[in-house]
Amino acid sequence: MASIFHPFLSAYLLLLLPLVVAQSSAGDIGVGSSIEATPDAKPWVSPSNDFAFGFHQLETNNDLFLLAIWYYKIPSRTIVWYANATRPAPTRSKVELTADRGLVLSDPQGQLIWRSVFAIRDIAFARMNDTGNFVVYGSGSEQLWESFKNPTDTMLPTQVIRRGGVLSSRHKGSNFVKGRFQFRLLADGNAVLNTINMESNLSYSPYYISETFDQANSSNSGFQVRLDEDGLFYVLRANNQRFSLNSEDVVPSADYYHRVTLTFDGVLALSRYPKSPTASNRNWSVSTTIPDNICTTRANKYGSGTCGYNNICTLKADKRPQCNCPPGYSLSDANDEYGNCQADFMQGCEADASSSRGDLYDLVELQNTDWPSSDYEVISPCTVNDCKAYCLQDCLCIVAEYNKGECFKKTLPLPYGRQDAQVNTIAFVKVRKAEFAQKNPPIISTVYEKRYRNSLMILISVFLGSSVFVNFVFVGVLCLGSSFLYHRKIKRNHSNRNGIQSSLRYFNYKELEEATNGFEEELGRGSFGIVYKGIIKTGSEDPTQVAVKKLDRVVQDMDKEFRTEVNVIAQTHHRNLVKLLGYCDEGQSRMLVYECLSNGTLASFLFGDLKPSWNQRTQIAMGIARGLCYLHEECSPQIIHCDIKPQNILLDDYYDARISDFGLSKLLGIDQSCTNTAIRGTKGYVAPEWFKTVPVTVKVDVYSFGVLLLEIVCCRRNVLMDGGEEEKAILTDWACDCFSEGTVDALVENDAEALGDKMKLERFVMVALWCIQEDISLRPSMKKVLLMLEEIIMVPALPLPCPSYISA
């Protein structure tokens, strides 16, 4: 019997042999294998233990993890690839090798965070290779997906970048979100370094070009960028000639690890690390930097360069940039040394005009310093002293630069600042003298009062030295003038006696009735009254269009509360809020007078026949977020809006968003931070806690903003009543389903602009879903919402929300 089966068994084993060998190699990962995101999770390691694939715990938040590849034998973890930078995985998330989708990263609730994208095929196994390349193999041993073809900021030996390939920098050293710099191999064969516009991903002109485009014979242009095992870094031409990018001799791979990294400050660095545990210097050492001096590279027409606007770049010994603000300036964000600088004093034509002194400024001299792309005027020939004088006399001039008999006047903002021995320019930075270095210009009324006192002293002197007749005439004029000033002061202080600050104009009922032509033209209706269009005439000035809000739900006998709350609103000044011009509290009438904006409501703009551009929509969303952030965190006391919806967002001449009706909820008695008042707001935007016996906080506005943000993204109303597809009837539910299924594209359908900006689209949807969490404690503050929208902080992975059906 054994002799009969032996040939068949041998043949069967021979057929199985390739598969057995393929799936039993060291470093292979079988289908169903997984790693859980915990601090002590064991990674998948390459056969030589050189590289590891697994979870990296973020320094900025120990509860979040990045799926990454790193050098396993190097004590200080050096990450060479990462997957989910915009959406870090929370603790207990899991990455698994599945049979049909490859690597799948999901959160503890099983919702998709990231996956290796390729056409769905039968998967046999995956392998962490000794080259640092993680590969997913199909059943025929074909490579379905590999990390080398999906690079982040690092290139490893044997890795190839083909035409169209890109390395993208990090946002900061420990922030893995995509930054401003790119290394690309263009279609023409040139390898370039360039910055991008973060809002639109638009690539700016290069600040480094390899010049590997062959004009005489384009077929010999560069077609690959390679890093060989021994660290030789080059552009390979089509005729197999190499254009070397190394500045030093290479060293063998047997002794050193090699890598090329695009750093967060825009330097492409080729570095090496000794493999021997007994080596004297066990650190990464840089052998080549591209460009050689990033501070003195060509200035671009757009962007700010390595350092922010008004900042100055100097090169350190390791050929990495250091940024410093000029004298009299400080960082806009103290935590971002590479960011923008702003003046510590008021400057410019308007600020200078408010002072009677002409010698407000000194000039601080900076040798070998230049901002090369911000000239608005050149004077030639010119001396150094004349150059300085010209700048001091010109209120537009912020910096004057002198070079070989020429004077260049510059104004803000100042991009591409650099200080280097190669720069032959002397810069003179205008700063306020110490005695005039106030941060704000003097109040105009104070200036007038000072002038009035001076004039009065002169008149008294004349009076004491004049004849009887002149004195008689003078006394008459003085009495008339005093009477005029007295009545003007009485009118000005009318509001003060009623507890309202004088910056607001007081209107009586008759004035507003005439301004609105008997409350004839209605602009809209809100939760607290009707808005009418009006025209206010103010003496010789042109008539001003206004919106008059006639409150119809204000409780009687609350004059004191009304005045207090109007005073709070009067002190709000923000570009994303509609400005309150005046008020009326005559008898039982309570009215508020606002500026009238030309482009109407966001509702008519968003839900009209023409779809607004993606860029316009995202800018509007961030404007609304800034306005709410101001109301919640910068006003004292806080102002809860309670009725955020498209009808309460107005658009100015430039289509910037302005929140209207802010503070009206407070006029009706809401506490400074919370309330147990009856439900306010509009169906579809009302937070679930309004229906519960819990205090209402600023988080009700966060919820409403989340709904509004989805409407802005999708250009449709939250609730559709036209009997369309049932699963799309409630936008919050549909958006939640689309996100959980990885089909966010469906929310914007044929919007090519939005589809081309996939990262921002996903970020905005994720922020919206955080905002509409039913659990109040999970909703972020508006400050955090704004930072996430602006990509300053990362959006955490979502515990998938269950939007409130009651609200919808």
Mean pLDDT of 561-576: 77
Given the structure tokens 């715990």, which residue do they identify? 57
550 is in an annotated binding site: yes
Other beta carbons within 10 angstroms of residue 349's beta carbon come to 9
CA–centroid distance for 631 within its chain:
19
| pLDDT for the residue numbered 120 | 66
Catalytic residue numbers? 643
Residue with the larger pLDDT of the pair 460 and 35: 35
| pLDDT for the residue numbered 405 | 94
- The single-letter code of the amino acid at 296 is T
User: Where does residue 26 rank: exposed (0-12), middle (13-18), buried (19+ CB within 10 A)?
Assistant: exposed
Mean confidence (pLDDT) of the chain: 82
- Percent of the chain having pLDDT more than 90? 49
Among 175-189, 255-269, 718-732, 764-778, name the one with the lowest average pLDDT.
718-732
| pLDDT for the residue numbered 550 | 86
Q: Which helix (H) or strand (E) holds 657?
A: strand 657-659
Residue with the larger pLDDT of the pair 4 and 91: 91
Output the CA angle 81-86-89, nearest 5 degrees. 80
Mean pLDDT of 318-339: 90
313 vs 325: CA distance, rounded Å: 9
Assess contact for 661 and 648: CB atoms under 8 A.
yes
Mean pLDDT of 573-602: 87
169 vs 779: CA distance, rounded Å: 31
Mean pLDDT of 120-124: 82
CA-closest candidate to residue 270, choices 255, 254, 249: 249
**pLDDT tens, position by position, 664-677:** 555 544 444 444 44
| pLDDT for the residue numbered 286 | 93
**pLDDT tens, position by position, 246-273:** 887 788 888 999 999 999 999 999 999 9
**pLDDT tens, position by position, 127-166:** 999 999 999 999 888 999 999 999 999 999 999 999 999 9
Q: Does pLDDT of 217 surpass 90?
A: no
List b or e across 701-737, with b for residues whose CB sees 16 or more CB atoms inside 10 angstroms.
Answer: bbbbbbbbbbbbbbbbbbeeeeeeeeebbbbbbbbbe
780 vs 699: CA distance, rounded Å: 8
DSSP conformation letters of 116-155: --S----EEEEEE-TTS-EEEEETTS-EEEEGGGS--SEE
Q: Is 105 in a helix, a strand, or coil?
A: strand
| Domains defined for the chain, CATH in brackets | 26-149 (2.90.10.10), 157-292 (2.90.10.10), 312-436 (no CATH), 444-492 (no CATH), 502-595 (3.30.200.20), 602-789 (1.10.510.10)
Tokens of 700: 């009700």
Mean pLDDT of 590-608: 88
Mean pLDDT of 329-348: 88
Assess contact for 208 and 243: CB atoms under 8 A.
no
User: Where does residue 155 rank: exposed (0-12), middle (13-18), buried (19+ CB within 10 A)?
Assistant: buried
363 vs 113: CA distance, rounded Å: 54
Torsion of CA 394, 397, 403, 404, to 10 degrees: -20
Q: Does pLDDT of 395 surpass 50?
A: yes
pLDDT band at 427 (very low <50, low <70, confident <90, very high): very high
> Considering Cα of 507, then 509, then 514, then 515, what sign does the dihedral take?
positive
**pLDDT tens, position by position, 486-511:** 444 434 444 444 555 556 888 999 99
How crowded is the C-beta side of 389, counted as CA atoms within 13 Å?
Answer: 5
Tokens of 442: 């003097």
Residue with the larger pLDDT of the pair 680 and 549: 549
| pLDDT for the residue numbered 279 | 79
Given the structure tokens 């809860």, which residue do they identify? 640
| pLDDT for the residue numbered 697 | 86
Q: Does pLDDT of 567 surpass 90?
A: no
pLDDT band at 463 (very low <50, low <70, confident <90, very high): very low
Q: Does pLDDT of 360 surpass 70?
A: yes
CA–centroid distance for 128 within its chain:
36
Q: Does pLDDT of 701 surpass 90?
A: yes
Assess contact for 325 and 309: CB atoms under 8 A.
no
Assess contact for 632 and 700: CB atoms under 8 A.
no
Given the structure tokens 């002072």, which residue do they identify? 355
401 vs 426: CA distance, rounded Å: 6
Given the structure tokens 């967060």, which residue do they identify? 264
Mean pLDDT of 614-640: 89
| pLDDT for the residue numbered 770 | 94
CA–centroid distance for 503 within its chain:
33
pTM of the shown model: 0.55
| pLDDT for the residue numbered 400 | 96
| pLDDT for the residue numbered 98 | 93
| pLDDT for the residue numbered 693 | 63
Phi then psi dihedrals of residue 18, to 5 deg: -60, -40
Among 92-101, 146-155, 439-448, 530-539, name the one with the lowest average pLDDT.
439-448
**pLDDT tens, position by position, 222-235:** 999 999 999 999 99
107 vs 113: CA distance, rounded Å: 7
Tokens of 95: 């990455």
Given the structure tokens 């590969």, which residue do they identify? 135
Residue with the larger pLDDT of the pair 598 and 432: 432
- Percent of the chain having pLDDT more than 70? 80
pLDDT band at 471 (very low <50, low <70, confident <90, very high): low
Mean pLDDT of 722-730: 73
